[in-house]
Amino acid sequence: MGLLWVSLLARVFTHFDPGSQLVNGWNSDAAIAVLQSNDPVFDAFRLYYYGQDRIGAWPWLLAQGWRALTGFDWTPYRVFLWQATWACGACLALLGLHRQVGWVLAASFAALILLSPLFQVQLFALSQPFGWQLTALFLAWWTLTRLLEGLAGPGFRRAAGTWGSAATLFSVLACWTSPTSGPLLLVCFGVQGGCVALVSPPGGARWRWLGAVLPVAAGIGFEAWVRHLFHRFAKRQFGHAYRTSLEVDTGYLLENAAAVWRRILEDALGPFVLLGGAVGLGALGFLLWHLRRRTLAAQAAQAGLAALTVAFATAALANACLTVLVRHARLNEHDIRYLVPTLVLGGMAAVSGVFFLLGQVSFLRARLGAVAALTAGGLVAGGHLFLRPRTPAPLLERSQVAADAVVSRAAGTVLLGGYWDTYLVGALDPAHRLPVLAVDGDYQRTPFWVPRVREAQEVLVSFAGERWAGTADQPNPWLLQFGAPFQLAEARWAVLPPFQFARYRSMRAHTLPVQLDPERGFAPCEPGASLTVRFEQPVEQGVLLVGTRTSATGVEVEAPGAAEARLEGLPSLWVVHLSAGEQPLRQVTLRQRAGQASEQCWFGGVALVADNQKMR
């Protein structure tokens, strides 16, 4: 098995790296894992993948710790090696789930890695949690199974100490990686623990298996605790808890169930999931039949494989049910990634179920180990034979060139841009000499760098595809970012295809204080909405910057005593050009006359930039 695992790693290392199109190449989501691995700061915000509470950050915390101890720089490829080695470790965990069929389970997982485009992305893209979750889940499952068996035997105290500690560790890692792991481990505990109890001799030992729930409970409890710490810290430090909507999606359950069913059927592994469910029902029937006849103990070997099949099938169903129940999955259109555990567990149920059925044939029962070994060898050989060739994705190399060039010219300068245009560059400097943020109003992964924007004398802005601040050929002349105004200083500061960087200088020294009415709650997209900006100092000439994604169409400007109050609509910004008449200006009112799309209703504050020579 060791040689087969090494050969699998060799294929994975050379085919599914971040520079490969097989895993969709390099992007800002993948960059967060690299950015986080090189982070010198340890706090509660780092307990999860930056800016969300669904992917536990223990892999990157370990990477952070290693860097703090050794000075080791984490590049995208080094982070990938860490993730890929752990993900392929699932094969070793599956091997331990059954003495004979474990070989086929491990080989089936290896075949999925080598042949399934979906699994190649979901296991090895640096942005996805499943490479971390599934290995931790199967390790927890394996150690939990050994704990259940040990508690039923005479040396249960030693088993409780050794296997109980291991099961607790891996349950914590699995649940921390994803809270969906908790219900799946409870299924393992319930099904396989019940089977162990039923085949054990009568007496007090039959009920010791119930103690095996403690590692699972510890994992679920630990994840809930660290998520609470994350929410509290993020809310206190950044004003936003980054809380995922995990409420039950009442009113949409039938619609969700139909959508999940379609997703499963559309995937190439769908038939295997259905087969796993069918043989799972057959295995359950076997267990209930022998339980009723009180002959289950005599069928202990077959009962163990039947229980494993039922556990796999039930866990696959449990994950699908979670996808149906949780609102977050619907809000993301029931993306197939939420069903990755269902597809894996359903496939494992099919494999173990088929061998359970083969074991019912007396001729094959004695030769089940040989059949399993031959099948495992065929699966691994087929995976290597039909592996798609690696196709390079050049964006990682180009992003590295851009990062090196920007750092060499402007180390320490804040880099702003659309979400997909920035992190993939900023993450490639391990020393964090390029603080990188998504623009105000976009999804923010690095809120801890917002104060750097407000204090900056100048910022760089990346133009690579998104048009939140204009285009590379026509960038906005003004920006308003996190309350700080900036003016374009150099439109083509650096051109490094596909990136172009513009330089903006801070206008904070020319900003005058204002008061807003209402202070909060202005919704620029709603008909009749109005905002009055009162100037604490009279102004003769200047510009009023209003951060919003709402179009300026239908917006009226009222500026009593103004010779000019011209509204200019720019991407993500309204610019009101002001010039006083006989008296200096003291306020401006903006009023929305026409409704706008609600998804464009973001409001990012205002800034008044005055011409110092025209102030009184």
Residues whose CB is less than 8 angstroms from the CB of residue 82 and which lie 6 or more positions away in sequence, other chains included: 59, 63
Structure tokens at 249: 């999606």
Residues whose CB is less than 8 angstroms from the CB of residue 351 and which lie 6 or more positions away in sequence, other chains included: 101, 104, 105, 108
Cα separation of the two ends of the chain: 82
- Three-state SS letters, 309-357: HHHHHHHHHHHHHHHHHEHHHHHCCCCHHHHHHHHHHHHHHHHHHHHHH
Structure tokens at 210: 């119930």
C-alpha dihedral (208, 211, 216, 221), degrees to nearest 10: 170
User: Does residue 1 or residue 113 have the better pLDDT?
Assistant: 113
Q: What is the DSSP letter of 475?
A: B
pLDDT bracket for residue 535 (50, 70, 90): very high
CA distance 267 to 340: 10
Mean pLDDT, residues 156-166 taken together:
84
Structure tokens at 200: 């054990």
Structure tokens at 616: 């009184």
CA distance 337 to 100: 31
Tell me: pLDDT of 433 over 70. yes
Radius of gyration of the chain (CA): 29
CA distance 269 to 21: 22
- The pLDDT, as a whole number, for residue 92 is 95
Tell me: pLDDT of 180 over 70. yes
For 517, the 3-state DSSP assignment is strand
Mean pLDDT, residues 514-525 taken together:
92
Mean pLDDT, residues 334-342 taken together:
96
Tell me: pLDDT of 614 over 50. no
- The pLDDT, as a whole number, for residue 594 is 80
Tell me: pLDDT of 616 over 60. no
pLDDT bracket for residue 204 (50, 70, 90): low
Tell me: pLDDT of 329 over 90. yes
Residue written as token pair 């074991």: 359
Return the closest-CA partner of residue 52 out of 322, 244, 333: 244
CA distance 342 to 277: 11
Structure tokens at 77: 């490829």
Q: What share of the chain is helix, strand, coil (3-state, %, to 5)?
A: 55, 20, 25
- The pLDDT, as a whole number, for residue 369 is 87
For 253-289, the pLDDT digits (tens) are: 999 999 999 999 999 999 999 999 999 999 999 999 9
CA distance 219 to 166: 12
Q: Are 486 and 478 in contact (CB under 8 A)?
A: yes
Tell me: pLDDT of 150 over 90. no
- The pLDDT, as a whole number, for residue 274 is 97
Q: Which domains does the chain carry?
A: 1-242+252-386 (no CATH), 405-506 (no CATH), 510-610 (2.60.40)
Q: Are 497 and 458 in contact (CB under 8 A)?
A: no
CA distance 293 to 286: 11
Tell me: pLDDT of 512 over 50. yes
- The pLDDT, as a whole number, for residue 545 is 97
Q: Where are the beta strands (DSSP E) in 385-527?
A: 414-417, 436-438, 458-463, 478-481, 484-496, 499-506, 511-512, 514-517
Structure tokens at 287: 């267990």
pLDDT bracket for residue 615 (50, 70, 90): very low
**Against a cut of 0.95, is the pTM above it?**
no
For 66-120, the pLDDT digits (tens) are: 999 999 999 999 999 999 999 999 999 999 999 889 999 999 999 999 999 999 9
Measured from the Cβ of residue 509, the count of other Cβ atoms closer than 10 Å reads 8
For 379-427, the pLDDT digits (tens) are: 999 999 999 999 999 999 999 999 999 999 999 999 999 999 999 999 9
Tell me: pLDDT of 187 over 70. yes
Q: What is the DSSP letter of 378?
A: H
- The pLDDT, as a whole number, for residue 613 is 46
In this prediction, what percent of the chain has a pLDDT beyond 70? Answer: 98
| Backbone φ, ψ for residue 16 (5° rounding) | -115, 25
Q: What is the mean pLDDT of the chain?
A: 93
- The pLDDT, as a whole number, for residue 1 is 65
In this prediction, what percent of the chain has a pLDDT beyond 90? Answer: 81
